[in-house]
Amino acid sequence: MCTSALPQMNMKGIQRPQLRAGGSDASAVEAGNGDLVAAGPTVPAGTATVSASTINLSKNIVGAGVLALASGVAAFSASPIAIVPAMALLLFLGGVSFYTFMLIARVGQEMGTATYKDTWAKIFGSQLSIIPALTIAFKTYVGGLSYTIILGDSFASIASLVGAPTLLRNSNFWVCTLSAFVLLPLSLLRDLSSLAVGSVIGTAGTLYTALFIWLRLLDGSYAAGGAFHSAIAATAQPRFLAASAARPLLNPSAFVLVSMLSTAFLAHYNAPKYFNELAVPTDGSTKQQAFTRVCAQAFGLAALLMGSIMAGGYLTFGGASQGLILNNYATSDPLAFIARLGISASILFSYPLNFVGLREGVLGMLGLRGKAADPSVHTLSTVLLVIVMNGLALKLKNLGLVVAFGGALLGSMLVYVFPALMFIFATRKEEAALAAKGKTLAPARRNEMYANIGLVGLGLFLAAIGCSMVLKNAAKH
């Protein structure tokens, strides 16, 4: 998502762009989450309150993939009842993501490190930092591609509403135009502090979209006989079918939704950042307890928003839910016009933040990070990456496919496998240190290590089966 916040990267050696104090924090780019809202302002270490951290983290989590979740449900069923197991999957995988997010902060605290990158390097050695670095660079690429797809579709829909010429109703026209005259200039900026307003716009746009989706569900505008039912293509009109023996309620295609949810809660390499920013509680509780409250509240709020958009969109259109749910709504629907406008404005502010994560990551892996300040390197790398990323959006139009494949291949690694591996190897280091002193590892810690070995297996399984099912469903369409 599904689009949130997004270089000092806390991991993978990608650095954060220089933002003035109080400016927009690019931390969500670190997550490569394709976020719709920018992360909160940069906060000095040890000063953030629980409430402020909760709000910033929840904004960091909710991403562009949220607009594709309804299509993830439609991938395995057209029955209204399918929303029940879909919500169960969202809550379960959200819970696992909550655990692994906290796990990263715990390991960092034990290792005495302040960033994901330093934690990884201390456990596995700096030579292996290329693994998460490559993963995150690819993830930011997927996030930027999602942005461009949404922008192309949204502006084409807006053009249709205002009766623009045929050329302006073509999404590829907007992909090329926005890339050349808006996205490229924004990506070339050195100082991104002026984009701080994107946080407010993004939050407002996402909340409005959720309310709009539920309003249209409840007023029946898109149901048969509704005000906008005949204003949309037949393929976008609501389609509900009962589960059957040929297509039971739960079937392997449910892994498409699972893949989307694997990346929906992705903000994990910002975990050390949020922990270090948090102030020591004055009520006698520990910082770890306060951090647990922050994570529980933030992941809960994110799950509530994601679940509302997923459920509202699916219960309106069922099996016809599009990869970008806003594409189901009529261009003549004025409330849909506002939703598209708000989401587009948010993405225009967030795109350069995500892009910086990609550019700095690629330059770092090529050994050119030290030359990033060179105007020629900065300009050439920016132009080439914009062409490579946005060029694919001219052919690939299915946001659901992008989000699901990215979640299966990358989200599984970042959310399940990497955090679990760090904990496992940190535990083995601790066990060796204790053995040298004639002591043994606590049984609870040992059992948790075994559970994380299982989590690694789960992550690898979800990556393999998810990619398979996503590509299989894509071939059908």
Is 456 a member of any domain? no
Distance CA 144, CA 211 (A): 26
Q: Write the pLDDT tens digit of every residue in 289-344.
A: 999 999 999 999 999 999 999 999 999 999 999 989 999 999 999 999 999 998 88
Total tally of structural domains belonging to the chain:
1
Instruction: Output the pLDDT for position 239.
Output: 97
Average pLDDT for 388-394 = 92
Helix (H) or strand (E) holding 430: helix 418-436
Distance CA 40, CA 56 (A): 5
Is 279 a member of any domain? yes
Is 415 a member of any domain? no
The whole domain housing 198 covers: 24-400
The residue among 4 and 44 whose pLDDT is bigger is: 44
pLDDT of 404 higher than 80: no
At 427, the pLDDT band (50, 70, 90 cuts) reads very high
pLDDT of 385 higher than 80: yes
pLDDT of 410 higher than 60: yes
Is 3 a member of any domain? no
Is 386 a member of any domain? yes
Q: Tokens 């398979």, residue?
A: 468
pLDDT of 30 higher than 90: no
CATH number, domain with residue 266: 1.10.4160
The residue among 57 and 39 whose pLDDT is bigger is: 57
Query: Are 103 and 275 contacting, i.e. CB atoms less than 8 angstroms apart?
Result: no
Share of the chain above pLDDT 90, in %: 55
List the one residue out of 142, 318, 144 whose CA is nearest residue 242.
318
Instruction: Output the pLDDT for position 27.
Output: 36
The CB density around residue 348, as the number of other CB atoms within 10 Å, is 18
Distance CA 133, CA 219 (A): 47
Is 449 a member of any domain? no
Distance CA 134, CA 48 (A): 31
Q: How far is CA 419 from CA 42, 108, 123, 224, 300, in A?
A: 24, 11, 12, 47, 20
The CB density around residue 272, as the number of other CB atoms within 10 Å, is 24
Distance CA 9, CA 207 (A): 28
Is 443 a member of any domain? no
Share of the chain above pLDDT 70, in %: 90
> Backbone phi, then psi, for 63, in 5-degree steps?
-125, -175
Average pLDDT for 182-192 = 91
148: tokens are 């461009």
Looking at residue 241, its amino acid is L
Please state which of the ranges 68-77, 423-432, 462-471 shows the lowest mean pLDDT.
Answer: 462-471
46-78 burial, b at 16+ Cβ within 10 Å, e below that, comes to eebebebbbbbbbbbbbbbbbbbbbbbbbbbbb
Query: What is the DSSP secondary structure assignment for residue 413, as one 8-state letter?
Result: I
Distance CA 143, CA 65 (A): 9
Q: Write the pLDDT tens digit of every residue in 200-259.
A: 787 888 899 999 999 999 999 999 999 999 999 999 999 999 988 878 998 989 998 998
Query: Are 41 and 24 contacting, i.e. CB atoms less than 8 angstroms apart?
Result: yes
Is 8 a member of any domain? no
pLDDT of 65 higher than 90: no
pLDDT of 26 higher than 60: no
Distance CA 66, CA 306 (A): 6
Looking at residue 434, its amino acid is L
Distance CA 292, CA 279 (A): 13
Q: How far is CA 467 from CA 175, 419, 420, 430, in A?
A: 27, 21, 21, 36
Distance CA 349, CA 237 (A): 32
Rg (CA), the chain: 22
The residue among 85 and 55 whose pLDDT is bigger is: 85
Instruction: Output the pLDDT for position 399.
Output: 72
334: tokens are 């004025």
Please state which of the ranges 37-51, 171-185, 355-369, 395-409 shows the lowest mean pLDDT.
Answer: 37-51
